[in-house]
Amino acid sequence: MKRLPLQFVVVICILVITGLACRAQTNANMNDNVDRKWWKEAVVYQIYPRSFKDANGDGIGDLKGIISELDYIKSLGVTAVWLNPIYSSPNDDNGYDVSDYRNIMKDFGTMADFDELLKGLHQRNIKLVMDLVVNHSSDEHEWFKQSRSSRTNPYRDYYHWWNADRGKPAPRYSLFDVNHDAWRYDSLTNAYYLHYFSRKQPDLNWENSKVRQEVFDIMKFWADKGIDGFRLDAFQFAAKDTTFPVFPVGYEKDFTKYYAMGPHLHDYLKEMYNEVLSKYDVMSVAEGAGNSFEDAHNLVDADRHELNMAYAFDAVDIAKLEGYSLVHLKEIFSKWDNQFADKGWLSVFLANHDQARLVSRFGNDAPAFRELSSKMLTTFIMTMRGTPYYYNGDELGMTNAGFTKIEDYRDVAALNEYKHQENTGGDMQAFMKRLAFESRDNSRTPFQWDGSDHAGFTTGTPWIKVSNNYKTINEAEQDKDPNSVLNYFRQVVRLRKDNLVLVYGKYTLLDKDNPNVYAYTRELNGKKMLILLNFSPKNATANVDVDMNNTRGLLSNYKDKGIYKVKGGVSLRPYEALVCEM
């Protein structure tokens, strides 16, 4: 072989070196483009305190119970906890009816317990996000007691009253009321008060600046204690047109369209940002993201100074008793990702305390597929762009409760809807079937710690029945088994934390019309990952043009990593999940 002249070699070397330098330069720029924030990189674990762990044997989960499991929470690898409401409450809606925002619910313990919990979390480098329920309070809150006492009481305008002298106000739909009527007549002052949720949850009047100031003071109280974020419950409904105009017939079928993003909501959020959020290193997320992408952006675009991230329901809402279409699910996630690719930030979730269990709704809880489909869904949630929210118990693949009698249910929504159906001649059998599939109580049964009585949740009688599969599905068993759903969850969380590409990387949907497989890539700074998920109980093919020999498998929910190429794609086994580096 002829030797290359020296000048030529030098030129080539220079070209290679400049090339590398350019590449390094682009990487640096891209790094700069990633606006890193702790709350974007967080893995949020949601704890439903009533059902997590009972320390004093009264059958109700409590703060001391959570404290006793801090090492477990740490072992999951999660970096933030979102705690459902723990404030004083008569519990009409399990704490979403607050009677004192600066105190702890008696069932849950004391402020000293809270301080210990916060300290214990922080010692373990875990942040704490608190639920803030200020679209409404409890009717047992002092403000409401004052407010209802007379028409001239200084607290009267803390809530929405409509004097009956003016006749009945225009109808408003209530989610939890037996008659779905959001106006409750109170003879004491001959007036109606507004409650979008239950009768014991009167809506606060955000148009009153005193109410807003009260809320900001409450937020400061908790932020000064050192908490790391707020989840604003039902907040898209807070602002209202207080002339209460008539809505078109049938509005209740799409009440969000009329209730969400009322006048001045953005002003209130800006005020909240200036008064509170801007002064602390806290994350902020509101439940619901309005009616359009534009609404969602208006809530969370950083330059608008309102909230951090959107929490939208489009995806979680599609799973019905009849099933759901994967193509539709992909469409929703892809659209949202696309709309937020350059600006704003999303929450990623498919379950929470208002939904039935993840595996029972979006996966398959039959014994043959429960573990595989749980792991597959976890892989999905942890490999999408956005902040993942993961609900306690899903890391064990806990299933729906299997309740058949109305007496087993505890949720005010379920109990009142049952009465509503009875009163209006509904098909009770069909209703009970729907409830068994979608009731919120499905996700509120006690956490299954071990195979002992009441799943180790309590030594007393649990406030809601333990699912009867606790002997096979529980934390103690799964902790010992390296292939368990629990240990897989820990692995996926680690993978996400070790790979910024899974947090910030560009998302590209592949094989979009495939009815069984969800396939996509994530890319950042020259790093690329491929995620293949079979959402069906049968073998399926991902029609992706990838040479699997050139990929490195990082994770699989099958013991043997049996990737094989078929003509034009990759074949996947039932509910198989694969994450590979390309």
55 vs 133 by CB, closer to ligand GLC: 133
Q: Which amino acid is at 449?
A: W
Question: Residue 203 pairs with which residues in a beta bridge?
Answer: 136
What is the nearest approach in angstroms of ligand GLC to the Cβ of residue 582? 39
Distance of CA 461 to the CA centre of its chain: 29
- Near ligand GLC in 119-148, by CB under 6 A: 133
CA 30/CA 19 separation, integer angstroms: 16
Tell me if 56 contacts Ca ion by CB under 5 A. Answer: yes
Residues 6+ apart with CB under 8 A from 39: 80, 229, 283, 308, 309, 387
Please state, in angstroms and as integers, the Cα–Cα distance from residue 221 to each residue in 90, 276, 435, following that order.
22, 10, 39
Contact criterion met (CB below 8 Å) for 192 and 164: yes
Q: Which of 233, 295, 394, 441 binds ligand GLC (CB under 6 A)?
A: 233
Answer yes or no whether residue 349 interacts with ligand GLC by CB under 6 A.
no
Residue 62 binding: pick among Ca ion, ligand GLC, none (C-beta 5-8 Å cut-off by kind): Ca ion
Binding mask 168-207 vs ligand GLC (x if CB under 6 A, - otherwise)? Answer: -----------------------------x----------
The distance of closest approach from Cβ of residue 201 to ligand GLC in the complex, given in angstroms and rounded to an integer, is 6
User: Would you say 121 or 132 has its CB closer to ligand GLC?
Assistant: 132
Q: Which is nearer to ligand GLC, 73 or 132 (CB)?
A: 132
Q: Which segment (31-39, 62-70, 146-154, 301-309) binds Ca ion by CB under 5 A?
A: 62-70
Give all strands (DSSP E) within 244-291, no chain letters. 283-287
Position closest to Ca ion via CB: 62
Per-residue x/- track, 94-113, ligand GLC (CB under 6 A): --x-----------------
Catalytic positions are 233, 287
Of residues 352-391, those binding ligand GLC (CB under 6 A): 353-354
Single out the residue of 45, 50, 52, 54 in contact with Ca ion (rule: CB under 5 A).
54
The rounded distance, in Å, linking the Cα atoms of 490 and 75 is: 8
- DSSP letter string over 102-150? EEE-GGG--HHHHHHHHHHHHHTT-EEEEEE--SB--TTSHHHHHHHH-
- Spatial neighbors of 324 by CB under 8 A, at least 6 apart, are 318, 362
Asked if 157 is part of the footprint of ligand GLC (rule: CB under 6 A), the reply reads no
Contacting residue, 234, 277, 510, 531, with ligand GLC by CB under 6 A: 234
- Nearest approach, Cβ of residue 445 and Ca ion (Å): 16
What Å distances lie between residue 381 and 24, 29, 296, 397, 435, CA to CA? 31, 28, 20, 14, 25
Please name the helix (run of DSSP H) or strand (run of DSSP E) that holds residue 391, with its range, or none. Answer: strand 387-391
C-alpha R_g of the chain: 26
Among 58, 100, 408, 479, binds Ca ion (CB under 5 A): 58
CA 431 vs. chain centroid, Å, equals 26
Cβ at position 89, least distance to ligand GLC in Å: 11
Residues that bind ligand GLC (CB under 6 A): 93, 96, 133, 197, 233-234, 287, 353-354
Residues that bind Ca ion (CB under 5 A): 54, 56, 58, 60, 62
